[in-house]
Structure 1
Amino acid sequence: MKSNITKLSLLALLAAILLAACGGGGTPESDATDIPVVVDNFDVIAEGRLVPADSASLSFPSGGRVLEILVEEGESVNAGDPLARLSNFDQLRASVASAEAERVSAQQALDDLVDNADLAAAETLKQIADARDAIRDAERKINNLNYGSREVDINSAQAQVVILRDKLEDAEEDYEPYADKPENNLTRAGFLSKLADAQRSYDDAVRILNNRLAAANDIDLALAEAELAIAEAQLAVSENNYEEVKDGPDPDLLANSEARLDAAEASLAAAEAALAEAQLTTPIDGTVVEVDIKIGEQAAPGEPAVVVADFSAWEVETDNLTEIEVPQISVGQVVSITPDALPELDLAGTVISISDLFEEKRGDVTYTTVIELDEVDERLRWGMTVVVTFLQ
């Protein structure tokens, strides 16, 4: 219909004209009552159709033979639930598992490369420190062999040996009661660590004392000089190694590991995408209203296979609201809705959107308006026609 502004407005206007015509035939009296002005404030009425507030028509993007149908019409589903699968689903799932394993392996290799570089740097720093200690000991030994130790140095070394031997004995006594305890016993582990430190300190003190007591001879001096040369060579090697690892992993190895990880992540993403195309999953909570596929049949790409709708809320889409009427409609406006199949039912609703794009229907320029129902009735069905009254 071209205009749904009720016919009552036209009747009222016609009545006003007739009254004016009848009064014009005689002489008006002085106390005649003026004819009231008719104001057109009638509600706009349109036709519409019920639709669920949310629905999804789902299809397989690539198509294929249907392996499983996991739901039936009328069944309730939650967002994320699988609905149907194609025959290559299991194969694609195995590909995802393989790609995930490769991604984990590539990540672990990269982590190990970085972690090992940090460990290598720490180890080379320790090697440098040990080499410098060995050089110092060798130089002291050579000096003692050539010139002999001062008495005060010998006495100091002897005293240090006595003190550290006493600490070593105390550590041995503390550890002895726990020697047979399990290795994971924390008390045993603590005393064992102290014993190892005490033994190391005592051995160092004995070595220093022996160096200071050593008498000079050609063999001892040659050995001491050889020890010095070895220590200096070890220091040079350790310093060179540190230069290679101090800035992190080898750039080429790092680039290869990062490239491997990137490739693994890309393969995993592709495998997951392929798997997703072999399974229909509902994006909404709702009810399965149509299953248009069968097991063993070929599902065409893009063809609707399963339809899911949320019937917990309803909307109405108008069908014939014309360009003459739409200026009187606004978002937020209250409406009354009566289903044609349930004329005794009067539902309240609110305008939530008015289309900016027109459609030509039956020769009229129309604009689709969407109304959200404030009430729900269990008798409502998708597609029911309704009468929409826009209250002024």
Structure 2
Amino acid sequence: MNDLVRSIGVAMKKIKKIFIICCFFMLPSCSALSSSTPAPTLAVVNQNLQAELIVEGKLVPEKDIKIVSMVSGKIEEIFVSENQIINQDEIVIQIEGIEKLNAQIQSAKLELLKARKDLEKLNRTAELEFNNAQLNLSQAELDLIKAKEAYSPFDSSNYQEKIDNAKIDVNDAEVDLEKAQDNFEPYKDLDQDNLLRKQFEKIVEEKQDILDKLKRGRDHLIQSRELALATLNLSETAVDEARYQFELKQDGPDKDLLELVNAKVEAAQSNLDASEYLLRTIQIQSPISGKVVQKFVDIGDQVVMGQPLLVIIDDTNWFVETVDFTELDLTHIEEGDRVLLKADAYPDLSIDGEVESISQWFYEKSGDIHYQVRIKVLDIVPEFRWGLTFEVTVP
């Protein structure tokens, strides 16, 4: 039909050219006629042969959704039937495994609740932790002062001299003990009641007692200084740690602990999200409100990932889509134009339509460039069915 309209337009242009040429050649003959003889007048009729533009399209709903299985398994429940009206988020099909997954979700919720409570407690007690850290730092610094004071007497030349003298006394006592033992040696095998044996043995015991006492004195001096030094070192370490903890808590909760607790919250939330996502894959909900127009499975069927389950349409509005408009036809139509629609199945029914959109993408068919046009049907009738063929007339 479009080709016919264009052929008529071309023919009209040729007729106009022939008419102009004929008039051009007739002018000299007309000038030779007597002025007294009236010249015949040519009556030119301007006929507007603009024809209607007619194309064909298919009826489609506002939305159509094909629901496919996201997992493999057995169909446990089907809650809808064909031609049933359903609401958005309504459960339509359930695949086996719901009990186990519900248990996982409850466990994930408890884990998330515990992690959030830990985070809340950490934030709530941040000020208390800061005050405790400040108190601990003050106490550690006070202990360090005491440790320095306690170590001060040991960190002197006089005290070192005492240790050196004590070591000398121990060495001298060891020499005296050796001499006493040497003197006792000739008498040690005599009878225990022998007076000489008893006398030299007593001297050995006295020298041993003196040596033991001197060793204890020397060791006490050394250990006292080492203990004071160890206490000082420990106090310095305690101050460093207390200052580190204080600085950590100056800007709120402990950063390391806060990072750890936040990580636990995120992990718990991820576990819950993953479990709820798995739930949605086996307890399938409708993404739109509309009508179930096709059901591919029955209860007990085994399905695989990607297998179609249902087709749902939103038939709130209907549209006619066509790709019959060529690039030349676009000069006769634009968005917002009114058109006339007729269904092949109902030829006596004329319906108004409005051009909603003209695609920017093109299709090449039989050497011509075509564009998809979407036309909103303004009058909806119960007889509408997806896929009906419509004739679109552009006035």
TM-score interval w.r.t. the shorter chain?
0.5 to 0.7
Secondary structure of the equivalent of 1:355?
A: strand
Which of 116, 122, 129 pairs up with 2:125? 116
Look up the match of 1:338.
Answer: 342
Look up the match of 2:3.
Answer: 3
Secondary structure of the equivalent of 2:347?
A: coil
Post-superposition CA distance 1:304-333 (Å, at most 9, x none): 211111222100001422233233221111
Residues 3 and 324, structure 1, Cα contact 8 Å, conserved in 2: no
Look up the match of 1:89.
Answer: 98
Distance 2:367 2:248 in 1: 81
Q: Which moved more, 1:82-91 or 1:330-339?
A: 82-91
Look up the match of 2:55.
Answer: 46
2:338 corresponds to 1:351: no
Distance 2:354 2:110 in 1: 53
Amino acid at match of 1:322: T
Look up the match of 1:250.
Answer: 254
Post-superposition CA distance 1:251-277 (Å, at most 9, x none): 333232122111111112222222222
Residues 53 and 315, structure 1, Cα contact 8 Å, conserved in 2: yes
Amino acid at match of 1:101: L
Residue identity over aligned pairs, in percent, reads: 30
Distance 1:13 1:117, change over 3 A: closer
Which of 373, 377, 383 pairs up with 2:377? 373
Distance 1:327 1:302, change over 3 A: farther
Look up the match of 2:272.
Answer: 268
Secondary structure of the equivalent of 1:263?
A: helix
Amino acid at match of 1:386: F
Secondary structure of the equivalent of 1:95?
A: helix
Query: Gaps (5+ residues) in structure 1?
Result: 129-236
2:81 corresponds to 1:77: no
Look up the match of 1:133.
Answer: none
How many Å apart are 1:38 and its aligned residue?
Answer: 3.6
Distance 2:382 2:16 in 1: 46
Look up the match of 1:37.
Answer: 46
Look up the match of 2:231.
Answer: none
Look up the match of 1:324.
Answer: 328
Residues 320 and 367, structure 1, Cα contact 8 Å, conserved in 2: yes
Distance 1:56 1:352 in 2: 21
Distance 2:349 2:15 in 1: 33
Q: How many aligned positions are there?
A: 282
How many Å apart are 1:334 and its aligned residue?
Answer: 1.0
Amino acid at match of 1:353: S
Secondary structure of the equivalent of 2:382?
A: coil
How many Å apart are 1:37 and its aligned residue?
Answer: 3.4
Residues 339 and 354, structure 2, Cα contact 8 Å, conserved in 1: yes
Secondary structure of the equivalent of 1:91?
A: helix
Which of 114, 128, 148 pairs up with 1:105? 114
Secondary structure of the equivalent of 1:380?
A: coil
How many Å apart are 1:2 and its aligned residue?
Answer: 5.9
Distance 2:328 2:133 in 1: 87
Distance 1:41 1:114, change over 3 A: same
Look up the match of 1:283.
Answer: 287
Distance 1:348 1:115 in 2: 66
Look up the match of 1:311.
Answer: 315
Secondary structure of the equivalent of 1:320?
A: strand
Distance 1:273 1:365, change over 3 A: same
Q: Which moved more, 1:79-88 or 1:360-369?
A: 360-369
How many Å apart are 1:125 and its aligned residue?
Answer: 8.8
For normalisation by structure 2, the TM-score amounts to: 0.61
Distance 1:354 1:110, change over 3 A: same
Secondary structure of the equivalent of 2:346?
A: coil
What value does the CA root-mean-square deviation take over the aligned residues?
Answer: 3.8
Post-superposition CA distance 1:310-367 (Å, at most 9, x none): 2221000014222332332211111110001111111111111112222234564321
Distance 1:48 1:287, change over 3 A: same
How many Å apart are 1:289 and its aligned residue?
Answer: 0.7
For normalisation by structure 1, the TM-score amounts to: 0.61
How many Å apart are 1:75 and its aligned residue?
Answer: 0.9
Q: Which has the higher strand share?
A: 2
Secondary structure of the equivalent of 2:360?
A: coil
Q: Which moved more, 1:115-124 or 1:265-274?
A: 115-124
Post-superposition CA distance 1:157-177 (Å, at most 9, x none): xxxxxxxxxxxxxxxxxxxxx
Residues 2 and 53, structure 2, Cα contact 8 Å, conserved in 1: no
Distance 1:343 1:18 in 2: 42
Distance 2:40 2:286 in 1: 76
Look up the match of 1:68.
Answer: 77
Larger radius of gyration: 2
Query: Gaps (5+ residues) in structure 2?
Result: 31-37, 138-238
Secondary structure of the equivalent of 2:348?
A: coil
2:65 corresponds to 1:56: yes
Residues 50 and 382, structure 1, Cα contact 8 Å, conserved in 2: yes
Distance 1:10 1:245, change over 3 A: closer
